[in-house]
Structure 1
Amino acid sequence: MSKPDFGLVDKVALVTGASRGIGQALAMGLAAAGAKVVCAASRVGGCQETVSKIEQAGGTATELAADLSDASAVVALAEQAQAAFGEIDILVNNGGTIYRSPAVEYPLEAWQNVLQVNLDATFILCQQIGKSMVARQQGKIINIASMLSYSGGITVPAYTASKHAVAGLTKALANEWGQHNVQVNAIAPGYIRTDNTQALQDDPERSTEILKRIPAARWGETADLQGAAVFLASSASNYINGHILAVDGGFLAR
């Protein structure tokens, strides 16, 4: 009886937003499982630390930079990533941004920027790299959704709209590409301890409210997401498609 294969040796991955936090952890997790990782950031040199950590651990990685709000730059990123180590086997759309403002005052420019970075760039990379996956009849795409793919949040209408859309896009692409042996899934991180959530962590009242709703009784660490990413990137998940996997310590169960 054969055992499930969670290894990623000889696979090439592209991870956006890999300079820090969740993206850095995902890139390191995929590399630890054997993948060669193309780490992308919004600025040149942004992934230097991530690449260094992967190489120090014995892995293989390189870095690229692109402004995800610029569609032409995203297309160029796809081309450059495919030239780095060869065809991309695993695409992780993690790069994103958030803007907080009451809806009645929300600037249209901020709305458009959040949607361009979080949704447009995700679709463009899925399209540009996905067509090669479809042609080769194999590939794994992992989009990063959010707890706000399920609920509305407060003062983050653009972010919430984008993350609901990412969940929907994940299902739409799974419907089209599943027949070509391309699995498109998403991870919805819960409350993870990163600089993006620092304000919530530092707010005693809000942090207490959040912890009360997490059965695991702790904030998540970025490393808690690595297993889910490796699973969805490996052949062990070949019959999983169009799924949004919440890694939230049980937050949604409450």
Structure 2
Amino acid sequence: MVSGGTSGIGLAIARGFAALGATVLATGSSEDKIAGLRREGGIAGLTFRSLDVRDRAAVQAVVGGLDALDVLVNAAGIARPHREFEEDTFLEVMDVNLNAAMRLAMAARPLLARRGGSILNFASMLSYVADAAVPAYGASKTGILGLTRHLAHAFGPEGIRVNAISPGYHRTDMTRELWEDPGAAAKIEAKTAVRRWGTTEDLVGTALFLASPAAAYVTGADLPVDGGYVVSGF
């Protein structure tokens, strides 16, 4: 199950799992996006469903309707640049980005325990560095790292692993304003070790690894996939 799986990073992850033969439920909040994806068709085993991750009853209903679950990917996320200093907006971003990850993890816990499954949370490079325009986004993604570590220990005795991925600058709708601006895009490329923007596909292999038996002894970890941006010295 992939929350935030109807666009951007979440959709790429959902398609990546399905391409390897997994049965994937990708959820999102936009009925229009879901309708469009259903019309497109595509990969076998991938289905889409509407879910407001802020709604505990809805989360329980969707997860409770599953027969089994091996992997939960918490990819739902929003950012509201400059508006996050308003309390209502700050709380909305925190609820979608952080609280919902806990909400889904708790709902999925019994199913994951039966299968020795895993949870993959999406943090961000802003878990490590600051952007003055998005205090709620940065706080929520920093919180994801703490949540990942604590749940790894809380769920570990049940055979559930919990890890995180911290993306950098990837070309998504959320970062469109930056990568469509030649000057801003060039500055980001110059600070990235591999001298390019990331794509959503750059995150798929990392997600598959962390969810696979190859990572059987990896839990409570965060794996940055940012092209070396955060460790840049300039």
Give the TM-score normalised by structure 2: 0.92
Match of 1:27 among 1, 4, 14: 14
User: Is 1:47 aligned with 2:34?
Assistant: yes
Identity of aligned residues (%): 38
**Contact 1:97/1:114 (8 A) holds in 2:** yes
- Alpha-carbon separation, structure 2, partners of 1:164 and 1:148: 7
- How do 1:10-159 residues align onto structure 2 when only pairs under 5 Å count? 14-44=1-31, 46-50=33-37, 56-57=42-43, 59-80=44-65, 82=66, 86-101=67-82, 106-134=85-113, 136=114, 138-159=116-137
1:222 aligns with 200
- Output the CA distance in 2 between the equivalents of 1:49 and 1:141: 28
Deviation at 1:46, TM superposition (A): 3.0
Give me the whole-angstrom Cα distance separating, in 2, the residues matched to 1:39 and 1:102: 28
Q: 1:192 to 1:172 in 2, by over 3 A?
A: same
Amino acid at match of 1:218: R
Secondary structure class of the residue paired with 2:132: coil
Q: 1:22 to 1:171 in 2, by over 3 A?
A: same
Structure 2 unaligned spans of 5+: none
In 2, the alpha carbon distance for the partners of 1:243 and 1:177 equals 14
Aligned position for 2:213: 235
Please tell me the residue identity of whatever aligns with 2:134. V
Distance 1:151 1:253, change over 3 A: closer
Give CA deviations for 1:60-86 in whole Å, capped at 9, x if unaligned.
122211122333322333223x1xxx2
Number of residue pairs matched by the alignment: 232
Gapped regions of structure 1 (runs ≥ 5):
1-13
Distance 1:50 1:182 in 2: 31
CA positional deviation for 1:93: 0.4
SS across alignment from 1:46: helix
Deviation for aligned residue 1:206: 2.2
1:15 Cα offset (Å): 0.5
Query: 2:165 is paired with a residue of what secondary structure?
Result: strand
**C-alpha distance in 2 between matches for 1:180 and 1:231:** 20
- Whether the 8 Å contact between 2:59 and 2:107 is mirrored in structure 1 is no
- Residues 112-170 of structure 1 show CA distances to partners (whole Å, capped at 9, x for unaligned) of 11011111111010011023323x16011000110111122121011111000011100
Deviations 1:83-113 (A, max 9, x none): xxx211100000111111177xx21110111
Q: Aligned match of 1:167 in 112, 121, 145?
A: 145
Q: Is the 8 A contact 2:164 2:221 kept in 1?
A: yes
- Indicate if the aligned counterparts of 1:189 and 1:248 stay in contact, CA closer than 8 A: yes
Superposed CA offset, 1:28-58 (max 9, x none): 00111221000101033533455566x634x
Is 1:194 the equivalent of 2:172? yes
